Amino acid sequence: MELDVRQTVDWMVKANEKVQEQKDYLSQLDRAIGDGDHGINMARGFQEIANTLPNEEFEEVSDVLKKTATIVMSKVGGASGPLYGTAFLKMSMESKGSNVDGETFEKMVGAAVEGLKQRGKAKEGEKTMIDVWSPVLDVLKEVSEINGEKIREAAHTAMEATKDMVATKGRAAYLKERSKDHLDPGSVSSYYLFEALAETLEKG
């Protein structure tokens, strides 16, 4: 099963729906251990994505992701803007000229994780969105298909696991031990992104 241009657009539109629905919840999570704007940042960026993508023509998946990256970079701001922007850009670059089958998708997410680590000077276990992206990459390595159900499951478990972590990167790091017992907002929005992908794949 491959991811095509229409599905990629659907994916982002669905991700936006989730972000809009959960906007207040994401901000609330960020209020607890950050500055309370994560929902607002994501909603601003993804709204623009959902407004733009369906009205444009794209040659290939890589182009959809490139456009997405550009919008995210110039609309989201904060920490999550450059991070998601980098992730989408790396995925776009990695898929340039290819059909997106399971193997390609694994490489794309691999590049995204690398990009996130470089941009954020972070690694796994620091209570950031990397703690969702990296486990998703692991599961992609295990399967040959883009398996929506497995991706969703892995992302969900990984997101929940951020609750027990102590932040050492990002704004939440200032809280040290006090950051524990709270979900990481960026991990939760990353989960929505992968949940949206799973639903898109299910719908076909």
Partner 1 sequence: MKKLINDPNQVVTEMLEGIVSAYPESMKRVEGTTCIVRKDAPVKDKVALVSGGGSGHEPAHAGFVGQGMLDAAVAGEVFTSPTPDQVLEGIKAVDGGEGVLLVIKNYTGDVMNFEMAAELAEAEGINVEKVVVNDDVAVEDSSFTTGRRGVAGTVFVHKLAGAKAEAGGSLLEVKEVAEKVIANVRSMGVALSPCIMPTSGEPGFELAEDEVEMGVGIHGEPGIEKKKLVTANEIAKELTEKVLPELELDRSVEVAVMVNGMGATPEMELYVVNRKIQAILSEKGVQVHETFIGEYMTSLEMAGCSLTVLKLDDELKELLDSRSKAPAFRK
Ligand X SMILES: Nc1ncnc2c1ncn2[C@@H]1O[C@H](COP(=O)(O)OP(=O)(O)O)[C@@H](O)[C@H]1O
Q: Where along the sequence are the contacts to ligand X (CB under 6 A)?
A: 30, 34-35, 37-38, 41, 78-80, 83, 116, 120-122, 128-130, 169-171, 184-187
Q: Which of 200, 204, 161, 203 is nearest to 182 (CA)?
A: 161
Stretch that binds partner 1, among 51-59, 79-87, 98-106, 189-197 (CB under 8 A): 79-87
Region 151-180 residues binding partner 1, contact defined as CB under 8 A:
168-171, 173-176, 178
Coil, strand or helix: which one is 26?
helix
d(C-alpha 119, C-alpha 178), whole Å: 25
User: Nearest approach, Cβ of 57 to ligand X (angstroms)?
Assistant: 31
Interface mask toward partner 1 for 83-122; x: CB under 8 A:
x-----------------------------------xx--
Phi, psi (deg, nearest 5) at residue 103:
-65, -50
* Residue 184 touches which of partner 1, Mg ion, ligand X, none (Cβ within 5-8 Å per kind): ligand X
Owner of token pair 């444009």: 56
Residue 12, sorted as left (phi over 0), alpha (psi -120 to 50) or beta, turns out to be alpha
- Residue 31 vs 150, nearer CB to partner 1: 31
Tokens found for residue 15:
């991700």
Interface mask toward partner 1 for 11-30; x: CB under 8 A:
-------------x--xx--
- Residue 9 vs 49, nearer CB to ligand X: 49
Are the C-beta atoms of 102 and 143 separated by less than 8 Å? Answer: yes
d(C-alpha 86, C-alpha 183), whole Å: 23
Are the C-beta atoms of 68 and 35 separated by less than 8 Å? Answer: no
Size of the residue set binding partner 1 (CB under 8 A): 34
Region 19-38 residues binding Mg ion, contact defined as CB under 5 A:
30, 34-35, 37-38
Are the C-beta atoms of 160 and 175 separated by less than 8 Å? Answer: no
User: Nearest approach, Cβ of 106 to ligand X (angstroms)?
Assistant: 21
- Residue 16 vs 147, nearer CB to partner 1: 16
